Amino acid sequence: METVVSYKLPITGSCTNQSGGGTSRHLDVANTTPHSPKNSIFQAELIALQEAVKYAQNHQNKVKIWSDSQSSLKALLNQKSNSTIARYIQDSLYNTHNIRLGWIRAHVGHLGNEKADELAKEAITSTEAAVLTVPLPRSSAKQDLKQRALAKWQRRWDDAINGRSTYEMIKKTGLRNHNWPRQLIQFITGHGSFPSYLFRFGKHPEDCCACGEPGTPFHSATKCRQTLYYHHKCPEDQHIEAWLKSITNHRLLRNKIIDLLNFITSQEDLLKSEQPE
């Protein structure tokens, strides 16, 4: 007599009660347990096989376990599998001689497999089934940690005191590389050869340039008489943020900022405010 077991999970195990003739029979076994949405379908399929193997180990009859998951069955053939679940199944099968595995095509009317699918869907929406705790796969764990890190980074960036000029340009944190030239980065961050920046580190007598106005990047690009050749049209206050973003998106405007920064760096003394004798 052979016991035929059809198991299917997210996470679900099932068999149908069906009278059989000859050498096989189906047992009535149904276990439905939802798993965390962060677990992978691959994990769910492997756990289904694991539970089926555990069930089969308690019987002396020969047991044939059918699965419609080719990836899970192939994982069991890999002796170097990184999956702890796959390795557990491999060890169990190695020590058991009454269990065989087989692949069955899904959604073609096999009664046991269709019942397993039905139980799987019930497990997803059930409020009574106990959640099975399974370690996350590495890919899901990495994605989860990435999302948590980005969320924490965003909160810190929103609440920070420093870097506000950059914040006006980049409000959303992320891993995108903007590939901005160093001169444009200096202009956006204000960390360049500007009197207002150099003054903070004792490299300039005061935070004003030679024309008496605060030596900020915006002043240098729009109002300073020493940099008249490199001036941009001064935007209205309500349009400054849009103007700053246009600098990063338009090649001609960006190149003009690069030329401005190169001039300021080479003519730093020209921009220094005069000191009284």
Going by their DSSP bridges, the two strands 2-6 and 62-67 should be labelled as: parallel
141 is a domain residue: no
Q: What is the pLDDT of residue 272?
A: 66
- 12 occurs within a structural domain: yes
pLDDT mean over 204-219? 89
Domain boundary among 105, 136, 167: 136
Same-domain pairing of 116 and 189: no
If you average pLDDT over every residue of the chain, what do you get?
80
Residues 112, 208, single domain; the answer is no
Q: Which of 264, 275, 269, 96 is nearest to 193 (CA)?
A: 264
180: left (phi over 0), alpha (psi -120 to 50) or beta: beta
Q: What is the pTM of this model?
A: 0.58
206 shares a domain with 132: no
Residue type, 72: S
Asked whether residue 167 is domain-assigned, the answer is: no
Q: Find the mean pLDDT for residues 120-127.
A: 70
Q: Domain of 117: which CATH number?
A: 3.30.420
The values of phi and psi at residue 209, to 5°, are -90, -175
Of 120, 116, 131, 53, nearest in space to 87 by CA: 53
Grade residue 26 by pLDDT with cuts at 50, 70 and 90. Answer: very low
| The pLDDT value given to residue 132 | 66
In Å, what is the CA distance from 257 to each residue of 180, 246, 254?
A: 12, 12, 5
Q: Between residues 30 and 142, which one has the greater pLDDT?
A: 142
Helix, coil or strand: residue 214: strand
Please answer whether residues 46 and 89 qualify as being in contact, where contact means their C-beta atoms are separated by less than 8 angstroms.
Answer: yes
Segment among 96-105, 140-149, 216-225 with least mean pLDDT = 96-105
Q: Output DSSP code: residue 74.
A: H
164 assigned to some structural domain:
no
In Å, what is the CA distance from 247 to each residue of 34, 43, 262? Answer: 52, 49, 16
Full residue range of the structural domain in which residue 123 is found: 4-136
Task: Look at residue 221 in the predicted model and tell me its pLDDT.
Answer: 94
